[in-house]
Amino acid sequence: MAGPALVLRPGRERSLALRHPWVFSGAVDRVTGDPGTGDTVALVGADGAWLASAAYSPASQIRARVWSFTVGATIDDAFIRRAVERAAAARAPMLDARHTAARLVHGESDGLPGVIADRYGDVVVLQCLAAGAERWRAALVAALAALPGVRCVYERSDAEVRALEGLPPRTGPLAGHLPPAVAILEDGIAYRVDPVAGQKTGFFLDQRDNRRLVRELAHERRTLNAFCYTGGFTLAALAGGAASVASIDSSGDALALARENLARNPALPAAAATWVEADAFADLRRLRNDGAVFDLVVLDPPKFAPTAAHAQRAARAYKDVNLLAFKLLAPGGLLLTFSCSGGISADLFRKIVAGAALDAGADGQVLRTLGAAPDHPVALAFPEGEYLKGLLVRKV
């Protein structure tokens, strides 16, 4: 077989037969040829049968990520362009006059492993998080910059996961010029996004549908938004007629942008919002000790467990914060609680929340299971793409 290849150990081709796009280092028997980081290699079974074309990452435990399971597929600029165009076309119905932001590319689930691209108006923020994505950066930038209405492609390849691929962090403009202020609309609510210094690419687009749900539920409810970041759930609750919204975050910069976002929406009742710069765990305990009561609590904490190795410690943190939420909820109150940790499964997260209710002396009913918005699709063969887990729980 021409070109470099990864020959797998006997029996280790089964996940590829099920179209899972990752090959771990322990599955590889030997490497033939001399592939460099990010180069395209053939994945070959122990019997010599061709299985897929993939990006090679010698520094990572995920030794290869599949580009294509199609025999004869050529991984080149045209392949990358077609994949970007296909992913962007699928999101086109999600963008209109009231919604000007969406995830355009969601990594493996869009056939572009390690590639994240989020659109904020006429700006696209790109993350290249794996060796193959890094190898094809120029083609990705060209494809994204050619999409209708895109005037700037900005890079935020500074996530910690790049270190696992042996890649340094990279940020900065890649095409066009970043405007002084990047503004979006979501359900008609205006936000400013900070692609340069904000978390991830600047905004939590995955919570779009869940913010809409909060807007539907918040009417006349005393609302608490812990880990509020730049105020997405806060503004949604205010738009839904919340009686009050208390918002907590440890970042002064995030709270400053949250306040600015509220000011961008003069129709929202600013007097109903209070902002607290504090550690959320500590402030939730303060509220509990003060006897505070809420009708709606939103918990959207940061990633406590990036991998399963961190799950035990993370489970304690998730349990603590949910226990405090149950203590603060009035009877009949609603809790929207989330985990974005890849190391916490949906089943484990539900058990953690149930344990928190038990320790709080409360009973709860799951009204809905929640996840990411449809611009974050999950390939059927790639359950790892379903990183955001959430529950809507009523305290009985």
Which tokens sit at 27?
């599955």
Which residues on adjacent β-strands are paired with residue 275?
A: 247
3-state secondary structure 55-75: EECCCCCEEEEEEECCCCCCC
User: Which residue type, as a one-letter code, is found at position 203?
Assistant: F
Write out pLDDT tens, residues 51-70. Answer: 999 999 999 999 999 999 99
- For 368, other C-beta atoms within 10 Å of its C-beta total 12
Given a contact cutoff of 8 angstroms between Cβ atoms, the answer to whether 121 and 95 are in contact is no
Q: Which of 26, 31, 32 is nearest to 11 (CA)?
A: 26
Q: Is the dihedral of CA 65, 70, 72, 73 positive or negative?
A: negative
Candidate list 128, 152, 228, 340, residue with the active-site label: 340
**Tokens 């609680």 belong to residue:** 337
pLDDT for the residue 310: 77
Domains of the chain: 5-68 (2.30.130.10), 77-183 (3.30.750.80), 204-395 (3.40.50.150)
Write out pLDDT tens, residues 313-371. Answer: 889 999 999 999 999 999 999 999 999 998 899 999 999 999 999 999 999 999 999 99
Confidence of residue 303 (pLDDT cuts 50, 70, 90): confident
CA–CA dist 392, 396 (Å, integer): 13
CA–CA dist 218, 208 (Å, integer): 16
Confidence of residue 1 (pLDDT cuts 50, 70, 90): low
CA–CA dist 322, 354 (Å, integer): 9
With 0-12 / 13-18 / 19 or more C-beta atoms within 10 angstroms meaning exposed / middle / buried, residue 149 is exposed
- For 246, other C-beta atoms within 10 Å of its C-beta total 21
Write out pLDDT tens, residues 7-55. Answer: 999 999 999 999 999 999 999 999 999 999 999 999 999 999 999 999 9
Q: Percentage of the chain surpassing pLDDT 70? A: 99
DSSP letter for 99, please. Answer: B
- For 34, other C-beta atoms within 10 Å of its C-beta total 7
CA–CA dist 34, 3 (Å, integer): 9
CA–CA dist 330, 309 (Å, integer): 35
User: What are the residue ranges of helices labelled H in the chain?
Assistant: 14-17, 77-91, 131-135, 137-145, 161-164, 208-217, 232-239, 252-263, 280-289, 311-328, 346-359
DSSP letter for 205, please. Answer: G
Q: DSSP of 307-357, one letter per residue? A: SGGGHHHHHHHHHHHHHHHHHHEEEEEEEEEEE--TTS-HHHHHHHHHHHH
| Three-state DSSP state, 32 | strand
Residue 76: partners with Cβ closer than 8 Å, 6 or more residues away: 139
Given a contact cutoff of 8 angstroms between Cβ atoms, the answer to whether 224 and 296 are in contact is yes
Average pLDDT over residues 117-127: 98
228 part of the active site: no
DSSP letter for 250, please. Answer: S
Q: DSSP of 216-244, one letter per residue? A: HH-TT-EEEEES-TTTHHHHHHHHTT-SE
Q: Is the dihedral of CA 374, 110, 108, 173 positive or negative?
A: negative
